Structure 1
Amino acid sequence: MHTMSLIALLAHPVQSLSELAMLAFIPATAALLVATLAADRTA
């Protein structure tokens, strides 16, 4: 599975980068939300 992902990454760098950005965006947003909630609770 990882090998196929690497091949796809090399074959379509722009598309894969955009997909990676979308995938990384979701947990980043969730982490930001959790951090904001934690800051609200401590404040």
Structure 2
Amino acid sequence: MWWFVIGYVIGHIGFMLGSMPILAVGGALFLYGAYVVVYGKPREE
């Protein structure tokens, strides 16, 4: 579940800085968090 928070924070920082790579990384982490929740992976941190 923390991937949602981490991804959102990183994505928000990237958006504020206008940095697309940082925004992309945040988005990727956010989508990974969504994937973990939807498919119920056991390795949640």
So what's the TM-score if we normalise by structure 1?
0.49
Rg larger in structure? 1
Higher helix share: 1
